[in-house]
Amino acid sequence: MFSDTRRWNAKVPGVSHENLATIRAVGRAFPPNYMPQQVAIDNLRQHWSAQSGAARRLLRLLETSGVQGRYLALTIPEYRELDSFAKANQAWLRIAAELAEAAARNALACTSLRPHDIDHIFFVTGTGIATPSLDAPLINRMRMRADVKRTPIFGLGCAGGAGAVARAADYLRAFPRHVALVISVELCSLTLQRDDTSPANLIASTLFGDGAACVVLCGSEAPEAGDVCVVDSRSTFYHDTERVMGWDIVDSGFKIVMSSEIPNLVRANLASEVNAFLKRHGLERRSVRHWILHTGGPRVLEAVGQALELDTQTLERSWRLLAKVGNVSSASVLLVLASLLESGEARPGDYGLMIAMGPGFCAELALLRW
């Protein structure tokens, strides 16, 4: 199991942390199977060899996916054994639990906190089903307290990571002595529909990867505090857009819904939403030094850049993560955050903006301050 953790410690001079949640640490975890994009494409092309049109479309997608490789939950022979939704979900239950624990332990290892100190878990996924949700086995595996609170979040898709950070920050303003974990685990490869040669499924097969991330957030009166304040958040729901993105639940599992209209929605709406959000804090887009954007894919990143008038260099971190690990759904924006914190680029007083979009269609924004 490959994993990584990062830590940052400097206090922010001259910035009030009164009753604001702070981000203390981020842990990351990936399955051990890393596959270069060309190898993945070759295997998919072989599987769909009887569908010549599908193979040609797949080759064209390879040129525009922006992905160089991805972590995958299983080896190729193991995927061939998944001939039912039940088998795919059983694999998800096993591997997602392992990754959730690895990411959580890696994040906590960057602090003096222990599993017993956690008061609330916000568990995010959209690629598998479990009742009880996977935070329950996680509590057992890590021997957390019996009174730990659990908020499972399913169905926000790629927006789930940013949304969960925002909800956790809201909770910690009400319970300032508490510590919360946001854990996102996505095993997108287990949702592949092997007999579906639709453009949406072909895109998904070349774009999405697997992995997990865990964010430790502390209330303003918690035993530890981080350096990054979650100043505010904003949720935006676009009416009558349910068929833009999501899942159709079919006999073989999760069948992706992904409209070509997503970039147009971004270009038409994102700038006004961001402007209104920043304005209530007396800020403008030029006030934001760090843009923490979900790695939604080339067309989405291009649309975000056009809407917000951001050049490629400003979005370089998201482009780089897209190339390295693909789109890891709700975990992606947390992986971008981890990369930013690892870089040490942020300085006291800097503002950052987390942005992720997902089914609904919706957007989740979180304003950060160092």
Q: Please report where in the chains the tokens 């904003």 appear, as a residue.
A: 234
Q: For residues 370 and 348, give the distance between their C-alpha atoms in angstroms, rounded to a whole number.
A: 5
Is 214 assigned a catalytic role? no
Query: Greatest CA separation found in the chain?
Result: 65
**For residue 69, which of 328, 326, 320 has the smallest C-alpha distance?**
326
**Six-digit token pair at 206?**
């070349």
Q: Are 330 and 296 in contact (CB under 8 A)?
A: no
**For residue 69, which of 37, 97, 46, 94 has the smallest C-alpha distance?**
37
Angle at 102 between CA 96 and CA 1, to 5 degrees: 85
17: number of Cβ within 10 Å: 16
Of residues 110, 158, 188, 214, which has the active-site annotation?
Answer: 158
Q: For residues 186 and 334, give the distance between their C-alpha atoms in angstroms, rounded to a whole number.
A: 12
**HEC sequence for 251-268:** CCEEEEEECCCHHHHHHH
Task: Just list the catalytic residues.
Answer: 158
